[in-house]
Amino acid sequence: MRKIQFRQALGEAMTEEMRRDSNVFLMGEEVAEYNGAYKVSQGMLAEFGADRVVDTPISELGFSGLGIGAAMNGLRPIIELMTFNFSLVAIDQIVNSAAKMMSMSGGQFPVPIVFRGPTGNAGMLSSQHSQSFENWYANCPGLKVVIPSNPYDAKGLLKAAIRDNDPVIFMESELMYADVGEVPEDEYLLPIGQAEVVQEGKDVTLVSFGKMMKIAWEATEVMREQGIIVELIDMRTVRPLDTATIIKSVQKTNRLVIVEEAWPLGSIASEISYQVQRHAFDYLDAPIQKINSEDVPLPYAPTLIQEVLPNVEKTVRALNAVLYR
Three-state secondary structure string covering the chain: CCEEEHHHHHHHHHHHHHHHCCCEEEEECCCCCCCCCCCCCCCHHHHHCCCCEEECCCCHHHHHHHHHHHHHCCCEEEEECCCHHHHHHHHHHHHHHHCCHHHHCCCCCCCCCEEEEECCCCCCCCHHHCCCCHHHHHCCCCCEEECCCCHHHHHHHHHHHHHCCCCEEEEECCCCCCCEEECCCCCCCCCCCCCEEEECCCCEEEEECCCHHHHHHHHHHHHHHCCCCEEEEECCEEECCCHHHHHHHHHHHCCEEEECCCCCCCCHHHHHHHHHHHHHHHHCCCCCEEECCCCCCCCCCHHHHHHHCCCHHHHHHHHHHHHCC
Whether 236 is in a domain gets the answer: yes
pLDDT in tens, 211-239: 999 999 999 999 999 999 999 999 999 99
Is 226 found in the same domain as 99? no
Is 235 found in the same domain as 108? no
Confidence band for 52, pLDDT divided at 50, 70 and 90: very high
Mean pLDDT of 315-323: 97
Confidence band for 58, pLDDT divided at 50, 70 and 90: very high
List the one residue out of 296, 169, 299 whose CA is nearest residue 239.
169
- Residue 238 has phi, psi (to 5 degrees) of -115, -5
Whether 168 is in a domain gets the answer: yes
The percentage of residues in the chain with a pLDDT greater than 90, rounded to a whole number, is: 98
Mean pLDDT of 21-32: 98
Is 208 found in the same domain as 112? no
Whether 228 is in a domain gets the answer: yes
Of 131, 150, 182, the last residue of a domain is 182
d(CA 319, CA 255): 9
Domain harbouring 273, CATH code = 3.40.50.920
Mean pLDDT of 173-197: 97
Identify the active-site residue in 12, 17, 80, 129: 129
pLDDT in tens, 102-129: 999 999 999 999 999 999 999 899 899 9
Tell me what pLDDT residue 200 has: 98
Residue 289 makes CB contacts below 8 A (sequence gap 6+) with 256, 257, 258, 318, 319, 321, 322
pLDDT in tens, 292-302: 999 999 999 99
Tell me what pLDDT residue 165 has: 97
Our answer to whether residue 30 is catalytic in this structure is: no
Our answer to whether residue 279 is catalytic in this structure is: no
Is 137 found in the same domain as 219? no
What is the extent of the structural domain holding 218? 196-323
Whether 263 is in a domain gets the answer: yes
What is the number of residues in the chain? Answer: 325
Identify the active-site residue in 29, 60, 80, 134: 60
- Residue 259 has phi, psi (to 5 degrees) of -115, 125
Mean pLDDT of 66-70: 98
List the one residue out of 172, 112, 101, 107 whose CA is nearest residue 140.
101
Mean pLDDT of 240-246: 98
Whether 283 is in a domain gets the answer: yes
Average pLDDT of every residue of the chain = 97
Whether 183 has a pLDDT exceeding 80, the answer reads: yes
Tell me what pLDDT residue 41 has: 98
Is 172 found in the same domain as 124? yes
Domain count, the chain: 2
